[in-house]
A and B are shown apart, each in its own frame.
Chain A
Amino acid sequence: DAMVIQNPRYQVTQFGKPVTLSCSQTLNHNVMYWYQQKSSQAPKLLFHYYDKDFNNEADTPDNFQSRRPNTSFCFLDIRSPGLGDAAMYLCATSRDRGGNQPQHFGDGTRLSIL
Chain B
Amino acid sequence: GEDVEQSLFLSVREGDSSVINCTYTDSSSTYLYWYKQEPGAGLQLLTYIFSNMDMKQDQRLTVLLNKKDKHLSLRIADTQTGDSAIYFCAEGEGSQGNLIFGKGTKLSVKP
Question: Are A and B part of the same complex?
Answer: yes
Of chain A, the residue at the smallest CB distance from B91 is A99
Size band of the interface chain B makes with A: 20 to 34
Q: Is the CB of A45 within 8 A of B98?
A: yes
Q: A42-B88, A42-B104, A99-B31 are in contact. Are A107 and B42 (CB under 8 A)?
A: yes
The residues of B that contact A104 with a CB separation of less than 8 Å are 45
CB distance from A6 to the nearest CB of B (A): 8
Q: Is the CB of B44 within 8 A of A102?
A: no
Q: Is the CB of B93 within 8 A of A99?
A: yes
In the bound complex, CA of A92 to CA of B8 (Å):
24
Q: Is the CB of B42 within 8 A of A98?
A: no
Size band of the interface chain A makes with B: 20 to 34
CB distance from B18 to the nearest CB of A (A): 20
In the bound complex, CA of A111 to CA of B69 (Å):
40
Q: Is the CB of A99 within 8 A of B29?
A: yes
Counting chain B CB atoms within 10 Å of each CB, the highest count among A6, A43, A45 belongs to A43
B residues touching A (Cβ–Cβ < 8 Å)? 29-31, 33, 35, 40-45, 48, 88, 91-99, 101-104
A residues touching B (Cβ–Cβ < 8 Å)? 4, 6, 40-43, 45, 48, 90, 92, 97-108, 110
Cross-chain pairs A/B with CB under 8 angstroms, 27 sampled: A4-B42, A40-B103, A40-B104, A42-B88, A42-B103, A43-B88, A43-B101, A48-B98, A90-B42, A97-B96, A98-B92, A98-B93, A98-B95, A98-B96, A98-B97, A99-B91, A99-B96, A99-B97, A100-B30, A100-B92, A100-B94, A102-B31, A102-B48, A105-B45, A107-B42, A108-B41, A110-B40
